Amino acid sequence: MNWTLAQRAHKMNPSVIREILKVTEKPGIVSFAGGLPSPLTFPVEAMREATHKVLTEDGRSALQYAASEGYGPLREWVAQSLTQQGMTVGADQVLITTGSQQGLDLVAKILIDAGSRILVETPTYLGALQAYTPMEPNVVSVNSDHEGVDPADLRAKAGTGADAARFVYLLPNFQNPTGRTMTEARRAAVAAAAAESGLPVIEDNPYGDLWFDQPPPASLASRHPDGTVYLGSFSKILAPGLRLGFLVAPKTLYPKLLQAKQAADLHTPSFNQRVVAEVLKDGFIDRHVPTIRALYKSQCETMLAALTREFGHSGQGGPGIDLEQSLTWNRPAGGMFLWTRLPAGLDAVRLLPQAVERNVAFVPGSAFYADHGDPRTMRLSFVTATAEQIDTGIAALAAAIRDAQSGAR
C-alpha cells in the first residue's frame, strides 16, 4: 500500500528529548534529563478517597460523555484560583483541556495558516514547537535575555498588515527550559508592546505555582486580557498522568477553540475532572502545593551547592574564574529546571554520550531553539533525582566536562 503523507506530517519530528531519554534508560544512571515532576509529590491518598467518593455518589454520570467545555465545578475552581494571578475571568472563559499540551495544539489549529508568522522566545518549550510546526508556520525567534523576550525586538518583529505575527508564545514563570522568570518591569513592557502592536499573546504557565520564596509577578493575561490566551495545567501541582489542563480565552475567541476541542476529542475525560474537582474541594491545593515548593527548593539548593563545589563559583563566576573556561549556570526562583552553559570549545550534544558513560544525563539546550541553538547550553532538571544522586550526578558531569576540556585542548 502506498500511503501518501500530508505535507504537515512531513513537518512532524520525534521529540528530541524523548529520543535522548531512551539513551538515558541505562540502569544506574542519574538523569537530569527528564521533565517529569517528582512522583513523591503525587497525592495518591487524596486521589484514592476522591475516586471512591465519585464512583459511590455519582458513578454513572462520571462515566458518561460530558460537555466539551469541561466539568462545571472544575471550571469554577479554575476561574476562582486565577484571581491569585491578578486575573478576573468568568468560568465561561475556561476550557478544560487534555493537558495544557492540548491547549497549544488547539491554539495552533485556530490561529496558524501555512506561512503565518509566529513569534517565540529564545530558547522556548520544545513541545510548543512540536504543536505549532505541523500547521507550517514561519517561526521567528525573538531576542531574549535572563528575563525573557526583549520588548523592543518584540515590537520590531510583530509586523503589520498581512505580515503581522499571529501571536507571540511566552512562558513568564520559571520557564522550560531555562528556569528564568520575567520581572515585573519586563512584564509591563512586554504587555505594553503586545497591546500597542495588536499582537496576541499565548501565555503558558504550568510552573507558576512552584515558586521557592515568593510568588512571581501577576500574569501577562491580567495586563492584556483581551489579547491573551492563558494556558494552565494540573500536571505539576497534582499529577501529569491525569492529563488535565485548561485554557482561558477572550470571549470572542472561545467558540473557535471549543469547536477545535470538539473535533479533537469531544471532551477531556470527565471521570478525571470529577475526581480532581473532589480533591480540590476544601482548600486541598493550599496545603499540598507548599510541600512541592519545599521539596523542589531543597533539591534546587542541593544542585546549586554541588555545582559550586565542583566548579568553584556560584554560577556566574567570581575571583580567579575565567567564565569562558568554566561551566556557568543560573539560579532559578522556582520550577524544575536550571540552565547551564559549557566552557568554550565544548558542545553539549557531543558531551552527552561521554556523560552517559559516566552515568549522568542531561538535555542539550540546542533542542529548545526554533532556529540555530547555542551548542554550549544544557538543561538540568533538579526534581526527580534524590539529593544523594544529585551530588553523584553533578560530580560525574564535572568529570565528563574536565575530560572533554582536556581532549579539546
Ligand X SMILES: Cc1ncc(COP(=O)(O)O)c(C=O)c1O
Residues that bind ligand X (CB under 6 A): 35, 99-101, 125, 127, 171, 176, 204, 206, 233, 235, 240, 245
Task: State which residue, 128 or 355, has the beta carbon closest to ligand X.
Answer: 128
In the complex, least distance from residue 205 CB atom to ligand X, rounded to whole angstroms:
8
- Which amino acid appears at position 1 of this protein? M
Task: State which residue, 171 or 303, has the beta carbon closest to ligand X.
Answer: 171
In the complex, least distance from residue 128 CB atom to ligand X, rounded to whole angstroms:
7
Task: State which residue, 126 or 401, has the beta carbon closest to ligand X.
Answer: 126
Task: State which residue, 70 or 99, has the beta carbon closest to ligand X.
Answer: 99
In the complex, least distance from residue 308 CB atom to ligand X, rounded to whole angstroms:
27
Q: Which H helix or E strand runs over 56?
A: helix 44-62
- Cell digits for 321? 574564574
Q: Name the nearest CA neighbour of 85 among 253, 283, 289, 248.
A: 248
Task: State which residue, 171 or 182, has the beta carbon closest to ligand X.
Answer: 171
In the complex, least distance from residue 235 CB atom to ligand X, rounded to whole angstroms:
3
Sign of CA dihedral 354, 355, 361, 363: negative
d(CA 51, CA 82): 25
Ramachandran bin of 232, using left for φ above 0, alpha for ψ from -120 to 50, beta for the remaining angles: beta
Q: Given the DSSP bridges, would you call strands 201-204 and 228-233 parallel, antiparallel or unpaired?
A: parallel
Backbone angles phi, psi at 28, to 5 degrees: 85, 0
Q: Please give the residue whose beta carbon sits closest to ligand X in the complex.
A: 99
- Cell digits for 292? 512541592
In the complex, least distance from residue 57 CB atom to ligand X, rounded to whole angstroms:
28
Backbone angles phi, psi at 366, to 5 degrees: -60, -20
Task: State which residue, 154 or 202, has the beta carbon closest to ligand X.
Answer: 202
Name residue 148's beta-bridge partners.
145
Q: Given the DSSP bridges, would you call strands 328-329 and 377-381 parallel, antiparallel or unpaired?
A: unpaired
